[in-house]
Amino acid sequence: MMSSAFRIVVGGENLIDFVETAHDDRPPQYSANPGGSPFNLAIASARQGCSVDYITPLSNDRLGKLIAHRLIDSGVNMKGPVLDAPTSLAVVSLEGGQPSYQIYRTSTAERLITQDQLDAISQDNLWLFHIGSLALSGGVDAALWEEFFVTCHQKGVITSLDPNVRSMFIEDRSAYIKRLERMFNYADIIKLSDEDLGWLYPDMELLAAFDHLISISSKGLRVLTKGADGARACSDLARIDAPAHPVETLVDTVGAGDTFMATMLAWLVDQKVSDQHAISTLSADDLGTMMARASKAAALNCEKQGCNPPTREAVLS
C-alpha cells in the first residue's frame, strides 16, 4: 500500500447495472453488476496500491452490500455513511437487439450526501479529491459536490475531474454544461474522452474543442482519450500525443476510461507529486510515462469482462 499521505478521496455515484442477458422469447433475465464511474475509479486505483477513501453514501439493502463487498475486496476504505435508502439502478434492456436504458436514482442512498458530511471530510488533510459522471448531472447532490470540489481546490487540495458524460440521463443539458465549465476553473486534472468532448462541443472539431476546454479552464493537467487512436496530454509546460496500448483479445471496454484515469492518479502517487503546481508543470517525459502506464492498464481491463481493473503488479510487469 502506498503512503496514506497521498490519499485519494473519491466522491460520486455507485449503482447496480442490471444488464439483460437473455436474447430469446423467454421473460427477460438480468445480471447485476456494481458500477458507476467514480466507484470504478476507486476500485481501479486501490488495486494499484493507492490509499483510497470512498465517501459517497451506500445503501444497506442487498444491492448496497454487493457494492460494499466489491469495494472492500479491492482494498477501498469506505468512509461514507450506510443508509436505509435504496441503491441506485441502471437497467439496460434489449428490444429487437437494440439496447434501451432506464435509470432509477430518485432519493437513493448515493444521492443523500449532506453538507455536514462534506464539512467533516474537508477538515481532514486531503491530497486529492476526484469526482465526475452522474453525480454532477443535476439535483441538490450535484450542487453539493460542485461546492466541495471548489472548496478543495481553494484549500490547495489537488482536484480531479472526469465528466464521463452519460447523455441519456441528463435532463438539463445547458445547466449540466455550465456546471462542468464552472468546475473546469477549479480542476487541476481533467480527463475526458473524445465522445465526452464531442457531446459538450458538437460544433467544434475534436482537437479545437480540446484547445477550447484548455482555454476556459485553470492551469493543470488535461488529457483527451481517443480509444484506439491513443491520447493527448497537456500540462502548462508540455503537450504530447501518446499511442494506445494494444489489446490482445478484446472482451469489452466497460470501465476502460475509469481505469485509465485511476492509473494516472496512481502514477502521480508513485512520483509523489505533492501539489497543484507540480501537476501543472509536468514535463513531456512525465506525460509520456504516465500515458503509457494508463494506456496499458486500460488495455488490460479491456481483456476482461466488465470493469475488472488490473493489479499494480500486472500494470508494472
Dihedral of CA atoms 183, 184, 190, 192 in degrees, nearest 10, equals: 90
> 29 lies in a domain?
no
> 93 lies in a domain?
no
Tens-place pLDDT, residues 207-259: 999 999 999 999 999 999 999 999 999 999 999 999 999 999 988 888 899 99
Residue with the three cell numbers 488490473: 310
> 92 lies in a domain?
no
The amino acid sitting at 268 is: L
Q: Is residue 93 pLDDT above 90, yes or no?
A: no
Higher pLDDT, residue 294 or 251: 294
Q: Is residue 55 pLDDT above 80, yes or no?
A: yes
Domain at 43, CATH number: 3.40.1190.20
Q: Taking residues 16-23, report their average pLDDT.
A: 82
The total domain count for the chain is: 1
94-97: Cβ within 8 A, 24+ apart: 94/20, 94/23, 94/28, 97/23
Confidence of residue 24 (pLDDT cuts 50, 70, 90): low
For position 97, what pLDDT does the model report?
62
Of 127, 113, 55, nearest in space to 85 by CA: 113
Q: Taking residues 289-297, report their average pLDDT.
A: 98
> 24 lies in a domain?
no
At 171, give phi and psi (nearest 5°): -85, -35
Report whether 252 contacts 305 (CB < 8 A): yes
> 99 lies in a domain?
no
> 139 lies in a domain?
yes
Tens-place pLDDT, residues 304-315: 988 899 999 999
Report whether 164 contacts 195 (CB < 8 A): no
| HSE (side-chain half, CA atoms, 13 Å) at 194 | 11
Q: Rounded to an integer, what distance in angstroms lies between the CA atom of residue 83 and that of residue 315?
A: 36
What Å distances lie between residue 193 and 132, 141, 174, 207, 241, CA to CA? 13, 24, 19, 12, 14
Q: What is the pTM of this model?
A: 0.94
> 100 lies in a domain?
no
Higher pLDDT, residue 292 or 123: 292
Range of the domain at 57: 4-14+37-85+108-316
Q: Taking residues 105-133, report their average pLDDT.
A: 95
What Å distances lie between residue 270 and 289, 290, 301, 303, CA to CA? 12, 10, 21, 25
For every residue of 210-267, DSSP letters joined together read HHHHHHTS-SSEEEEE-GGG-EEEE-SS-EEEEPPPPPSS----TTHHHHHHHHHHHH
